[in-house]
A and B are shown apart, each in its own frame.
Chain A
């Protein structure tokens, strides 16, 4: 398997398969994850190979899915739950926030609830309402949860393996519009830490920080900026809780400028937290205020407007120009 080129969806599938092979307690559960293999085919073939007892098609009730996953975790299992689309997680929000996130602390560490919640998120696929949202801040804000989002197939594989091994609940945000982006995945390599950020591209004039689907956009923006004579570094944050501020700090200390990009609304988003922390840590290194590019304070628009709402190359470059103009 070492060094195989595969898309993100397949990499997650391989990670689930590997985890299930290694640990009989790992379960996959969700709506349509069995015969269908999930609406994005991420769990394709798993039920055939591991049986209905381990790849569980659930009733169509998200709170029930997460609530029973908590019970299964308490009885020693490691459930990996699929929420079909970002906008459908909210019936389970109560279970995630009031129960899953707090149970370990409530029990003073005497129980663990290693549940992974997979959420295909973010836009760009021309979908109807509730299928394109980026709700990661609503989870990253909650103590007790960990939130991650891979941007490429290799990370998708390893971050899923690490999330399943983690004894804490992990909300795993999958960039659905990048599901079919391919990259080399080496399943024999040794991964870095789950919550460590990665320098995706080196540069010296400005740092672009992003995660999930926006990493690709930022890399394209950095290439475009290069043609215009600016050297832009791209940090793939990979984790929204915890955030690897150390890597961001080191980058900004070198470049002096930071623009944070995500699809989620800018207001009170991950970028706001990064801006505040980096300003505290790098005040004397900053040549410009930290800028944010993201969604607007409006419901995710109908698909014909999503290109306006989503940060694209031009809006990212506009922020880069503004930061460089200081």
Chain B
């Protein structure tokens, strides 16, 4: 028998037939798997599914969960309702503003109000949030002026708000990058000996990114006080969640050695309770936790997207029955915690907010031509200085032309 070096091997180690068989078998298995996963998913969102933490049913009934008790005051419940209504109204207005040509793009959060409001209302002021670009409800709860969110979608800046005034970082567009920033920030908090928590928002699509996997690793290894809040809205543009994972996303946490939990993302009370627990877990030195908010993106990915190309209307309709605002309103009405005056008041506030957003967008000035040279560096850079002054000179060369042109015309 001769020992054959791999490099010298003339025939492939794997026969193409065998590979083909294995591939097709795997394919078959995964098809069956995804079919059953799809079936499972349907029931997963149902109230009877044990793995889904739910405290408020789509019918507006309060239910108990052994691990996540919550007893919000009527005031808090009304507050959550108001947050969600205002956020939805603002979001709808932004979509309309895009249709009117006032915004270049908008990423709607429609349907995800409970996940965002519930999780964000679980936080303290000193906690820090790292959002994606769809966290308009979280921004609202953090006290970021909603009109600030519109600048980047209008194209007058790339964010531009001060992340440190509300402990709400800038929207991050590259998918998943911010989970590492959140982890690093949390490592810093731990080094400082503080008890703040850091929350990284991301989505089902981002869960496939290496940065998210690395954020899980780093946070686990360093026991960083970070909460990974994944809004699984079922769709990454046109790709269903099944294209991102063979296991429910919350189960990924187990492989990294920290807890993961799936919560009804359309249930604001469950999102509040579970995030409170996760944040407490982080604060008390127990390290990271993954919360998967099982929700649904009711609208398009962004205003540039057309979901009719990849999903059926029936799917959306089935999720309409689980609307996050409707179920809280049913509870509030049944328990007589609101009267018509309150509901009308919230609607009025929502209209006023929409009007303010409209007016703010229309009044938003274009940035100055030279603004692109500002803030490229904190400590300056000679090339930027050179190009800035050259471009200013170039612009100035036009400024004199209309004058001389006008003078020439006047002469005629």
Contacts and interface: CB of A to CB of B under 8 A. Distances in A.
A110 B189 contact: no
Contact of A107 (B159, B179, B191): B159
Sorted from nearest, which 5 A-B pairs have the closest CB atoms? Answer: A71-B184, A67-B180, A75-B188, A64-B214, A68-B184
Contact of A112 (B160, B188, B378, B384): B378
B134 to A, nearest CB: 17
A63 B381 CA distance: 26
B170 A71 contact: no
Interface residues of A, number: 47
B191 A53 contact: yes
Given A74-B181, A107-B170, A63 B210 contact: yes
Nearest to B163: A111
Contacts of A143: 376, 384
B382 A244 contact: yes
A243 B385 CA distance: 12
Interface in A234-257: 241-245
Contacts of A94: 174, 177, 211
A167 B378 contact: yes
Contacts of A244: 382
A216 B130 CA distance: 46
Contacts of A146: 377, 381
A104 interface: yes
Interface stretch (B72-80, B108-116, B215-223, B257-265): B215-223
A76 interface: yes
Interface string B155-199: 001111111100001101010010111111111110110000000
B379 A168 contact: yes
Contact of A241 (B169, B192, B383): B383
Given A71-B181, A105-B158, A107-B163, 5 more contacts: A53-B191, A71-B182, A74-B163, A74-B188, A106-B170
A54 to B, nearest CB: 8
Interface in A36-81: 53, 58-59, 61, 63-64, 66-77
Size band of the interface chain B makes with A: 35 or more
A168 B160 CA distance: 18
A230 interface: no
B312 interface: no
B79 to A, nearest CB: 29
A112 to B, nearest CB: 5
Contacts of A67: 177, 179-181, 183-184, 211, 214-215
A94 B209 CA distance: 12
B374 interface: yes
Contacts of A167: 378-379
A95 B170 CA distance: 15
A96 to B, nearest CB: 11
Interface in B128-153: 128, 130
A71 B187 contact: yes
A178 interface: no
Contacts of A61: 214, 217-218
A146 B382 CA distance: 11
Nearest to A102: B158
Contact of A71 (B183, B374, B375, B378): B183
B378 A104 contact: yes
Given A58-B218, A67-B181, A68-B183, A111 B383 contact: no
Contact of A108 (B160, B191, B218): B160
B365 to A, nearest CB: 14
Contacts of A229: none
B14 to A, nearest CB: 26
A161 interface: no
A64 B378 contact: no
A98 interface: yes
Contacts of A105: 158, 374-376
Contacts of B381: 146, 168, 241-242
Interface string B370-412: 0000111111011110000000000000000000000000000
Given A94-B174, A105-B376, A71 B186 contact: yes
Contacts of A111: 163-164
Contacts of B183: 64, 67-68, 71
A74 B65 CA distance: 37
A95 to B, nearest CB: 6
A69 B214 CA distance: 13
B184 A70 contact: yes
Contact of B184 (A69, A106, A168): A69
Contact of A110 (B163, B174, B214, B376): B163
Given A72-B184, A111-B163, A104 B375 contact: yes
Interface string A76-109: 1100000000000001001100110011111111
B368 to A, nearest CB: 12
Contacts of A166: 379
A59 B374 contact: no
A75 B128 CA distance: 10
A110 B218 contact: no
Contacts of B174: 94, 98-99
Contacts of A66: 180
B214 A59 contact: yes
Nearest to B185: A71
13 contacts: A63-B180, A67-B214, A67-B215, A68-B184, A70-B184, A71-B181, A72-B188, A99-B177, A104-B378, A105-B376, A108-B160, A109-B375, A241-B383
B377 A63 contact: no
Nearest to B372: A105
A106 B171 CA distance: 10
A292 interface: no
Contact of B218 (A68, A76, A102): A68
Contacts of A108: 157, 159-160, 374-375
B94 to A, nearest CB: 20
Nearest to A105: B375
A109 B185 contact: no
Most chain B beta-carbon contacts within 10 A, residue among A102, A143, A167: A143
Interface in B210-255: 210-211, 214-215, 217-218, 221
A59 B214 CA distance: 9
Interface in B333-379: 374-379
Contacts of B210: 63, 91
